Structure formats: structure tokens, C-alpha cells
């Protein structure tokens, strides 16, 4: 009897498993399979529409001279320098392709009633414009940093400061760091306190560098200002004598006066002509 009961219970378990499997299969065939087919059809249609829009937009933009405009504004050269060799019209077309396919993927998840996937893609779509703006802020910060770095490095080189490339690179890095903090604040990934602290550090570093450059380059700045007055009072070709130098003015630069003397070509700081008596010969 015990053996018969055991086999009977095993048979009931087996029938339950088979019945559950058949029931699940029937439910999936009647509900899940149509959803899967509908999702696949949605993706196929989305892909066809995306390809059509990509080709149409690329040809249309190329036809109205969009690539030529990008060439004249320097944007295409900027993209080539960063390894993006596709024409701007093709980039726009591929961008529209990605947008359409992304939308089709969201619709496919909705057809499958896969709400976590829909929520994830919707959240990512909401973040995309903010990320684009943050990247634009970083690009602007990088451009401004390079520009400021070149100016400061050039001023440090004129002032004979050691490590002028390092000073320019430090200014570039500080500006880029500030742009990065503004970007993460825009993305709400940092607090206002962190942004203010970062701003204070960047501005403090830039002010310190500016003080060092001005302090060490004060003679250069005085000559730069004096050169304007010298250019208004003297002309190339005049012969002058100042201190122990006597000769003909060859050129008045932004901060020097070059004389043709008996000993050869001599450069005199422009401020010398304002500090000492000048005799026209």
C-alpha cells in the first residue's frame, strides 16, 4: 500500500507539473506571443522609418548647402580635427535615425508590457538634452581655457617667467575645471556649496597667477604703455640721442625702440625715452 500511495502522489505531482507547463504555454501563446510579434513589427517599422528619414534628411540638407555652410563656419574642420570625418548632413541624418529607433524601442517595450524597460528608456531620454547642454558647457570651457592659457603663457614668456607653458596649462586646467563644476551642477550632481568652493579655488588660482605675471612683468607693462607715447612723438627715420645711445630710429615696436647706431642695431626700452632727456640730432 505504501508503494502504491507513493506512486500515486508522484503521478499527481507529475500531472500538476505538466498541467502548469501547458497552462503557462497556452497563456504565453495567447498573450505573450502576440505581444512579442507586435513588438518585433514595431521595431521593424521603426527601423524602416528611421532609414527613410536618415536618407531623406541627409540628401535634403546636402541639397540646400548645409555642408557648405558648415565648411565656411569652421564646424566641419572642428569635427575633422576630433576624428569625426562624416559630413555634417550625414551626422544630422544619423542623429534623427537614433531618435526614431529609440522611440521605436520604447514603443516595443510598451507592446511587451515591460514597464521597467519603458521607465529606464524614458528616464534616459529625459536626461539626454541635459547631457548635451553639459557637454556644450564643457566644450565652451575648454575653448575659453585654451584661449586664456595662450594669452597668459605668452605674457609669461615676454616677462621671462620660468615655466610659461606650465602657467598657461594651469590656467587652461582651472578654466576647464570650473566648466566641469558648472556642468555637474547643471546636471544636479553637485550642491551649490561645492560649486562655490570650486569657483573660489579657480578664481584664487587665476588671481594669484595674474598677480605674479603683473608683478614680474611690470617693466614690460611700463614699456608697453610708453611705446604709445613714443609712437606719437617720434617717427622712423629720425635721429636721436638718449643716454649713451645715438642713432636713427628704425622701428618702434609695442615696447621697444630700435636704433641704427655706429655699433649696429640696438634695442632700447620705450620707457627709457620718457625717463631720460632725448635730443633730436
Render 25-76 in DSSP notation, one character per residue: HHHIIIIIHHHHHHHHHHHHHHHHHHHHHHHHHHHHHHHTTHHHHHHHHTHH
For residue 195, give Cα distances in angstroms to 127, 133, 138: 21, 17, 15
pLDDT at 47: 92
pLDDT at 1: 47
Structure-model confidence comparison of residues 83 and 105, the more confident one: 105
- Is the pLDDT score of 110 beyond 70? yes
The candidate with the shortest Cα–Cα distance to 92, out of 130, 133, 136, 57, is: 57
pLDDT at 4: 59
% of the chain beyond a pLDDT of 90 = 3
Tens of pLDDT, residue by residue over 27-44, are 555 566 677 788 888 888
* Mean pLDDT calculated for residue range 84-100: 86
Q: What is the DSSP letter of 109?
A: H
* Mean pLDDT calculated for residue range 216-228: 71
Structure-model confidence comparison of residues 21 and 60, the more confident one: 60
pLDDT at 72: 78
% of the chain beyond a pLDDT of 70 = 78
Question: Which of the residue ranges 94-103, 136-145, 172-181, 255-264 has the most confident prediction, judged by mean pLDDT?
Answer: 94-103
Bridge-based pairing state of the strands 264-269 and 256-261: antiparallel
CA distance 23 to 26: 5
Q: Yes or no: say if 252 and 236 are a contact pair by the CB < 8 Å rule.
A: yes
Tens of pLDDT, residue by residue over 135-172, are 888 888 888 888 888 887 777 666 555 556 777 777 78
* Mean pLDDT calculated for residue range 186-204: 73
Q: Yes or no: say if 257 and 230 are a contact pair by the CB < 8 Å rule.
A: yes
The candidate with the shortest Cα–Cα distance to 245, out of 231, 264, 226, is: 264
Q: What is the DSSP letter of 83?
A: T
- Is the pLDDT score of 52 beyond 90? yes
Mean predicted lDDT score pLDDT of the chain: 77
Tens of pLDDT, residue by residue over 236-258, are 888 888 888 888 888 888 778 88
66's grid cell:
548645409
Q: What is the DSSP letter of 159?
A: T
Amino acid at each position: 500500500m505504501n508503494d502504491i500511495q507513493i506512486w500515486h502522489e508522484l503521478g499527481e505531482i507529475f500531472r500538476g507539473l505538466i498541467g502548469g507547463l501547458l497552462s503557462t504555454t497556452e497563456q504565453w501563446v495567447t498573450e505573450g506571443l502576440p505581444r512579442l510579434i507586435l513588438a518585433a513589427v514595431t521595431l521593424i517599422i521603426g527601423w524602416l522609418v528611421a532609414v527613410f528619414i536618415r536618407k531623406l534628411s541627409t540628401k535634403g540638407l546636402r541639397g540646400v548647402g548645409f555642408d557648405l555652410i558648415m565648411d565656411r563656419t569652421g564646424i566641419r574642420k572642428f569635427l575633422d580635427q576630433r576624428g569625426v570625418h562624416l559630413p555634417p548632413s550625414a551626422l544630422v541624418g544619423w542623429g534623427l535615425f537614433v531618435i526614431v529607433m529609440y522611440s521605436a524601442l520604447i514603443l516595443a517595450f510598451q507592446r511587451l508590457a515591460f514597464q521597467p524597460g519603458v521607465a529606464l528608456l524614458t528616464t534616459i531620454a529625459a536626461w539626454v538634452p541635459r547631457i548635451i547642454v553639459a557637454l556644450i558647457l564643457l566644450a565652451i570651457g575648454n575653448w575659453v581655457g585654451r584661449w586664456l592659457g595662450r594669452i597668459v603663457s605668452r605674457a609669461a614668456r615676454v616677462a621671462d617667467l620660468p615655466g610659461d607653458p606650465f602657467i598657461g596649462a594651469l590656467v587652461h586646467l582651472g578654466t576647464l575645471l570650473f566648466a566641469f563644476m558648472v556642468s555637474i551642477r547643471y546636471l544636479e550632481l553637485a550642491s551649490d556649496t561645492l560649486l562655490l568652493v570650486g569657483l573660489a579655488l579657480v578664481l584664487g588660482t587665476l588671481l594669484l597667477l595674474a598677480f605674479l605675471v603683473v608683478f614680474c612683468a611690470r617693466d614690460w607693462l611700463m614699456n608697453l604703455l610708453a611705446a604709445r607715447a613714443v609712437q606719437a612723438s617720434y617717427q622712423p627715420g629720425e635721429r636721436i640721442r638718449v643716454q649713451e645711445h645715438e642713432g636713427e630710429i628704425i622701428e618702434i615696436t609695442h615696447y621697444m625702440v630700435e636704433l641704427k647706431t655706429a655699433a649696429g642695431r640696438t634695442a632700447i626700452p620705450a620707457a627709457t625715452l620718457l625717463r631720460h632727456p632725448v635730443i633730436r640730432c
